A = this chain, B = another copy of it.
Amino acid sequence: MVEDSVLLAAVSLISAVQQAYFAKQVGNARMKYKIAPPSVTGSPDFERIFRAQQNSIEFYPLFLVVLWTSGLFFNQEVASVFGCVYLFGRHVYFIGYAESTKGRIPGFKIGLAMLFILFILSFLGTANCLIDKYFDINLIKKISKLFP
């Protein structure tokens, strides 16, 4: 069973490293712009990096939900590929936002598109499993019988 989620676990681990990297960047920015904790304001440069991390934190549980749901109920390999592209988009977003407010947009769009795709896959997989369980109709099997 655990093998069916090993790729999802691997992508989740990469995402955990990314979150730790973002947190480290905020720590470095605190030093550089001399923003002592608990303060989170005082320099626009620091605030952009801080907001970039905060936004990544906000989306992190949502990302994990659609990654694992699409991976378990649709297809592990497909979900992992889109998950990796999401992490790449997040990286572009963070680097871009650290430089300028406008710089956050390209990476954000990549991330949003990946979340949308993972959500659609999750929806299809979960809906098929629900229909199979409660109405005993396996749509995927029915469809594949049409193309023997």
Partner-B contacts on A (CB < 8 A)? 1-3, 5-7, 9-10, 12-13, 15-17, 19-20, 23, 36-40, 44, 47-48, 50-53, 57-62, 64-66, 69, 72-73, 97, 101, 104, 115, 119, 122-123, 126, 129-130, 132-133
Contacts and interface: CB of A to CB of B under 8 A. Distances in A.
A2 B129 contact: yes
A20 B62 contact: yes
Q: How many monomers of this protein are in the complex?
A: 3
A126 B9 contact: yes
A83 to B, nearest CB: 13
Nearest to A39: B47
Most B-side CB within 10 Å, residue of A12, A38, A59, A130: A38
